[in-house]
Amino acid sequence: MKKLLTLLFGIALATTVFAQNTGSIAGLVTDSATGVPIRGVMITAGASNMCGGRAITDSTGAYTIQNLAAGNYIAVAHARMYRPMRYPDTVVVVTGQTTTNINFALVPYTPPPPPNPGSISGVVTDSATGLVIAGANVTARDRRNVRRAITGTDGSYTITNLRASAYRVMANKQGYQPKMYPDPVVVASGQAVTGIDFALVEGQVPPPPPPAGGSISGVVTDSATSLPIRGAMVMAHGSNSMNGGMAMTDSTGAYTILHLMAGNYSVHAEARNYLPRNYLDPVAVLANQNTSDINFALTPRLH
């Protein structure tokens, strides 16, 4: 017992001495456009001797990187849907002190359109009268993206910035039954696909029940902090190239991919500023059952 108490005292003393021989960096992260604090931003502090640390901002946008050896550091902020930002000056850490006001105003990031994008266009009309329908919503969806357009006064629409892929296209308008284009619309790189027209039937119908199928669910977290990652994309691909699905994680990091046919799937997760990860084993899906606990811990991508 005496040896154990001596060991514990030594550890506590070493911890205290270590904390007294280090400093910290603190600050606030906000949106450059709105001034609103940003939660969940990763701040990293690196030094030439490979020492450093990191922290995550709280709900007020505040952070503190602790236990840094005295020296000069480069501080960088990373957040989903924002451009990474390096603090313009070298941050000096002094033993026993907190270097404050290392603040960041991050610039929102809008992903650029795909290289050489294509488009889908057509006209939406009333099936009974043949008159054009203005203000109808037309969506084009593939495995990764959804693009939308609204018909003009002449009933025409154009969905732009489409990457090369096969899309399911649907038109709907209040007071009309929604209609799916019967075949997938294949868009090649830079191709403008025309003539994808719709004749909508007047009258509302109750939505059909969801197709029978199984599902895959789980949670996506940060491997370093174990915090949930919101907005991560999780994709399931079956042996048939047209069989699969995807889902985005919510604020708790949870996701559920619905309407999957029975079979084995390869599952993949990715998020901005993280390294993508494949689930190691094939995931079996049974009809009308949920395969749960398909979890991912993504590693931050340090720049």
Q: Model confidence over 144-168: pLDDT tens digits?
A: 788 999 999 999 999 999 989 999 9
Domain with CATH 2.60.40.10 in the chain: 2-106
Residue with tokens 């007294």: 20
Q: What is the Cα gyration radius of the chain?
A: 26
SS3 sequence of 219-240: EEEECCCCCECCCCEEEEEECC
CB 251 within 8 Å of CB 284: no
Q: What φ, ψ does residue 3 adopt, rounded to 5°?
A: -65, -40
Q: What φ, ψ does residue 261 adopt, rounded to 5°?
A: -70, 155
Residue 152: predicted pLDDT? 95
In CATH terms, 214-298 corresponds, of 3.40.50.880, 2.60.40.1120, 3.60.110.10, 3.30.160.100, to 2.60.40.1120
pLDDT tens digits along 273-289: 899 999 999 999 998 89
| Amino acid occupying residue 288 | N
Spell out the CATH class of 118-200.
mainly beta
**206 alpha carbon, distance to own chain's centre:** 32
Q: Report whether pLDDT(2) > 70.
A: no
| Amino acid occupying residue 72 | N
CB 28 within 8 Å of CB 103: yes
The 10 Å CB-count burial string (b at 16+, else e) for 2-23 is: eeeeeeeeeeeeeeeeeeeebb
Handedness of CA 134, 136, 140, 146 (dihedral sign): positive
Domain with CATH 2.60.40.1120 in the chain: 118-200, 214-298
Between CA 32 and CA 79 the distance in angstroms is: 13
In this prediction the pTM is: 0.38
- Read off the DSSP letter of residue 132: B
| Amino acid occupying residue 210 | P
Instruction: Categorize the per-residue pLDDT at 204 as very low, low, confident or very high, splitting at 50, 70 and 90.
Output: low
Spell out the CATH class of 2-106.
mainly beta
Average pLDDT of 98-121?
88
Token readout for 108 is: 């929102």
